[in-house]
């Protein structure tokens, strides 16, 4: 049987760890050739480990170094990938980070750093992906000319004290995603977001590393388990495949119910 993403080329940003690595493995398993992006040379070994696991499992992958907050590097990554593989069919705009601080102590550097990667990085990669989708058009590998999945967060709707830069970046991702989905739907380009809840990755290690921290975290999750990168990877495969062909400009919350106001579980 034809795999759901057979023969398609997927760039996944920040894919040497966590959710990005989970998306890379699931998409490769669904038949995509996966570009495992990482930001700095020190990350190469981790990216190569993800590539090796994919190849070992029978998939296709390469690693590529690019800081998504830098326009020159993003332009070069898209040019190189298109030269090597002919096109790009799927972008998973996943790279992201936190630099937390109480609001009155947050430096402009912390603000700009998070916005630069989490929002500007998604803008730069989406722009280059859409240029390529428009150039190529629908080519028979998919009903769409291209698909973009923006990695947002439950914090696109849940305010988060001490994380104003991060929450603002994800709120920004939400309206950027919806705006470009509206702009390019007539061109058969589908753009959606995934809003993960708490997924066990390096970004939130402190939230689940001890039993005490884990029990606190589980109070926020009606389903009473922390998510895994493949929970997000499977959702990303669905959003990138023709199974979700009529889904455009929406955020899929994959959060074990975190956005269901668990504080009201017991009569409020």
Mask of contacts with ligand NAD, 168-197, x by CB under 6 A?
----------------------------x-
- Residue 43 makes contact with ligand NAD by CB under 6 A: yes
The tokens 């993003």 sit on which residue? Answer: 74
Q: How many residues does the chain have?
A: 268
Cross-strand partners of 251: 193
The helix or strand, by DSSP H or E, that contains position 110, with its residue range, turns out to be helix 108-115
Applying CB under 6 A, the span of 31-39, 103-111, 182-190, 239-247 interacting with ligand NAD comes to 31-39
Alpha-carbon span 86 to 103, nearest angstrom = 46
- Residue 95 makes contact with ligand NAD by CB under 6 A: yes
Q: Which of residues 212-231 bind ligand NAD (CB under 6 A)?
A: none
Cross-strand partners of 162: none
- Dihedral pair phi/psi, residue 102, rounded to 5°: -55, 145
Alpha-carbon span 34 to 23, nearest angstrom = 9
Start-to-end C-alpha separation, the chain = 49
- Residue 122 makes contact with ligand NAD by CB under 6 A: no
- Residue 81 makes contact with ligand NAD by CB under 6 A: no
Out of 10, 18, 114, 180, the only residue in the binding site for ligand NAD (CB under 6 A) is 18
Alpha-carbon span 62 to 77, nearest angstrom = 12
88 touches 9 (CB < 8 A):
yes
Structure token digits, residue 10 = 């997927």
- Residue 259 makes contact with ligand NAD by CB under 6 A: no
Active site residues: 166
Out of 17, 63, 144, 244, the only residue in the binding site for ligand NAD (CB under 6 A) is 17
CB of 17 to ligand NAD, least distance (A): 4
Residue whose CB is less far from ligand NAD, 59 or 196: 196
- Residue 153 makes contact with ligand NAD by CB under 6 A: yes
Residues that bind ligand NAD (CB under 6 A): 13-14, 16-20, 37-39, 43, 67-69, 94-97, 117, 121, 151, 153, 196, 198-199, 201-204
């Amino acid at each position: 049987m034809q795999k759901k993403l057979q023969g398609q080329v997927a760039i996944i940003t920040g894919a040497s760890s966590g959710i990005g690595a989970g998306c890379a493995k699931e998409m490769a398993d669904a038949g995509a050739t996966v570009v495992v992006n990482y930001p700095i040379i020190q990350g190469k070994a981790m990216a190569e480990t993800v590539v090796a696991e994919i190849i070992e499992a029978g998939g296709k992958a390469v690693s590529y170094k690019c800081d998504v907050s830098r326009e020159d590097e993003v332009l070069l990554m898209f040019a190189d990938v298109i030269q090597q593989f002919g096109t790009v069919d799927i972008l998973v705009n996943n790279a992201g980070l936190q630099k937390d601080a109480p609001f009155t102590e947050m430096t402009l550097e912390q603000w700009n750093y998070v916005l630069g990667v989490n929002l500007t990085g998604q803008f730069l990669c989406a722009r280059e992906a859409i240029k390529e989708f428009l150039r190529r058009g629908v080519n028979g590998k998919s009903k769409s000319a291209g698909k973009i999945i923006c990695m947002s967060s439950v914090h696109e709707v849940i305010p988060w004290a001490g994380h104003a830069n991060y929450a603002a970046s994800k709120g920004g991702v939400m309206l950027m995603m919806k705006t470009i989905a509206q702009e390019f739907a007539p061109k058969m380009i589908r753009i959606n977001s995934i809003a993960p809840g708490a997924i066990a990755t390096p970004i939130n290690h402190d939230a689940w590393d001890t039993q005490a921290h884990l029990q606190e975290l589980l109070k926020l999750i009606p389903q009473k388990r922390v998510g895994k990168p493949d929970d997000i990877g499977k959702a990303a495969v669905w959003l990138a495949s023709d199974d979700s062909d009529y889904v455009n400009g929406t955020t899929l919350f994959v959060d074990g119910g975190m956005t269901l106001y668990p504080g009201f579980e017991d009569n409020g």
